[in-house]
């Protein structure tokens, strides 16, 4: 039998969820929900029901729902959906507060319903390959960059929760550890009341990690570098490409000539083969499979893992004496 699914919140990500569900062979997109009636054309395109009221939507015969609403609405919608027996995939960030996230996780466990969180980079083919080839015990430092441009759909959240939280989740996922927050810095140069630049320094045991996120550049960068004693790795999330680099074969450096210096600066570069796929399609297929198995199948992000990200963000905001603001669309 096909899994009956629905989507609530039809912004950029919610519309993408509806598109992907409509293509998956083992699920049926039953309905979509948004308070904006202008979104009805999406239901017409996918031959499903349209709802403006969330209560009516959750009262429909659905096995599972994607919650893609602003984050401040996650708790109420998720709690209501759990009460009505739905399995849930909620877009990141999981919740607007750690307490609300903990309430949702506890409720899902009590109701014996699946609750997963949409950290999409876990399904990036380059990330999956990276986990296969890299031994984190040999890595001593990582540098992550997530740059702009400023997304017009973002109205109530800063760049830290929108972009940097992806990197925190990936680093948690790769290292299987909870980091210590060493340093954080946020700033805003735009008219937005939230930060448009964020830097955070984390310590994962022996690994020192740096994350820089910004909406200021008008170009898009999604990169992570991992440095070890023997090799370093460069991953491009957007292009789903992974490379490794190592020192050139040892040579006698006798004269300090320019050619000697050039030799030392060369690296042996290797393209690591990656079979690129749409991460969202992989994630939603993983969610549908999880519903069938009644278990969150790795690499889907569990509520407990998502709470670990919120703990890091809370700590970063606390270090700066700032109140966390979170309301993404």
Beta-carbon contacts of residue 250 (< 8 Å; ≥ 6 apart): none
What integer is the mean pLDDT of 273-279?
Answer: 96
Taking the model in full, what pTM does it have? Answer: 0.91
For position 151, what pLDDT does the model report? 75
Residue 51 to residue 60: CA distance in whole angstroms: 10
For position 328, what pLDDT does the model report? 39
Residue 67 to residue 117: CA distance in whole angstroms: 9
Statement: residue 121 has pLDDT above 50:
yes
Residue-level length of the chain: 329
User: Which one, of 81, 207, 66, lies nearest residue 141 by Cα?
Assistant: 207
Backbone angles phi, psi at 87, to 5 degrees: -85, 150
pLDDT tens-place string over residues 22-39: 999 999 999 999 999 999
Backbone angles phi, psi at 50, to 5 degrees: -115, 135
Statement: residue 201 has pLDDT above 90:
yes
What is the fold of 125-279+311-319? Answer: Dihydrodipicolinate Reductase; domain 2 (3.30.360)
Residue 4 to residue 220: CA distance in whole angstroms: 35
pLDDT tens-place string over residues 221-248: 999 999 999 899 999 999 999 999 987 7
Return mean pLDDT, the chain.
Answer: 92
Statement: residue 120 has pLDDT above 80:
yes
- What 8-state DSSP symbol labels residue 2? P
Statement: residue 274 has pLDDT above 60:
yes
Residue 310 to residue 312: CA distance in whole angstroms: 5
For position 251, what pLDDT does the model report? 60
Three-class DSSP category at 80: helix
Residue 286 to residue 277: CA distance in whole angstroms: 13
pLDDT band at 252 (very low <50, low <70, confident <90, very high): low
Residue 177 to residue 31: CA distance in whole angstroms: 38
- Select from 3.40.50.720, 1.10.357.10, 1.10.3720.10, 3.40.50.300 the CATH code of 3-121: 3.40.50.720
Beta-carbon contacts of residue 319 (< 8 Å; ≥ 6 apart): 181, 183, 184
What integer is the mean pLDDT of 165-170?
Answer: 97
Residue 121 to residue 215: CA distance in whole angstroms: 19
Beta-carbon contacts of residue 111 (< 8 Å; ≥ 6 apart): 82, 83, 85
Percent of the chain's residues with pLDDT above 90: 80
For position 268, what pLDDT does the model report? 86
Contact 68, 35 (CB under 8 A): no
Q: Where along the chain do its domains lie?
A: 3-121, 125-279+311-319
pLDDT band at 281 (very low <50, low <70, confident <90, very high): very high
For position 213, what pLDDT does the model report? 97
Identical fold for domains 3-121 and 125-279+311-319, yes or no, is no
Residue 270 to residue 130: CA distance in whole angstroms: 13
Statement: residue 42 has pLDDT above 60:
yes
For position 248, what pLDDT does the model report? 74
**What secondary structure, in 3-state letters, does 173-188 show?**
HHHCCCCEEEEEEEEC
For position 192, what pLDDT does the model report? 67
Three-class DSSP category at 139: strand
């Amino acid at each position: 039998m096909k899994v009956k699914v629905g989507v609530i919140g039809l912004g950029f990500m919610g519309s993408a969820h509806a598109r992907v569900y409509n293509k998956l062979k083992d699920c049926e997109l039953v309905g979509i929900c948004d308070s904006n009636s202008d979104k009805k054309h999406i239901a017409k395109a996918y031959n499903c029901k349209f709802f403006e009221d969330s209560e009516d939507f959750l009262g429909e015969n659905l096995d599972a729902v994607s919650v893609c609403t602003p984050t401040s609405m996650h708790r109420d919608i998720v709690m209501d959906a759990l009460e009505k027996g739905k399995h849930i995939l909620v877009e990141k960030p999981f919740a607007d507060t750690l307490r609300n996230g903990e309430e949702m996780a506890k409720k899902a466990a009590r109701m014996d319903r699946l609750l997963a969180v949409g950290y999409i980079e876990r399904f990036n083919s380059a990330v999956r390959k990276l986990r296969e080839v890299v031994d984190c015990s040999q890595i001593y430092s990582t540098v992550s960059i997530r740059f702009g441009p400023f997304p017009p759909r973002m109205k109530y959240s800063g760049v830290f929760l929108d972009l940097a939280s992806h990197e925190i989740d990936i680093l948690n996922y790769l290292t299987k550890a909870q980091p210590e927050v060493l340093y954080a810095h946020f700033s805003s140069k735009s008219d937005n009341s939230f930060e448009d630049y964020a830097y955070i320094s984390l310590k994962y045991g022996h690994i020192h990690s740096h994350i820089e996120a910004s909406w200021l550049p008008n170009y898009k960068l999604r990169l992570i570098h991992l440095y070890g004693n023997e090799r370093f790795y460069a991953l491009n999330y957007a292009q789903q490409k992974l490379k490794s680099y190592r020192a050139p074969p040892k040579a006698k450096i006798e004269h300090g000539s320019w050619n000697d210096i050039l030799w030392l600066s060369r690296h042996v570069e290797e393209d690591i083969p990656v079979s690129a796929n749409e991460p969202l399609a992989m994630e939603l297929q993983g969610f549908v499979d999880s519903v069938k198995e009644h278990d969150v199948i790795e690499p889907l992000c569990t509520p407990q893992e998502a709470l670990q990200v919120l703990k890091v963000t809370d700590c970063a905001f606390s270090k700066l004496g700032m109140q966390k603001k979170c309301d993404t669309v």
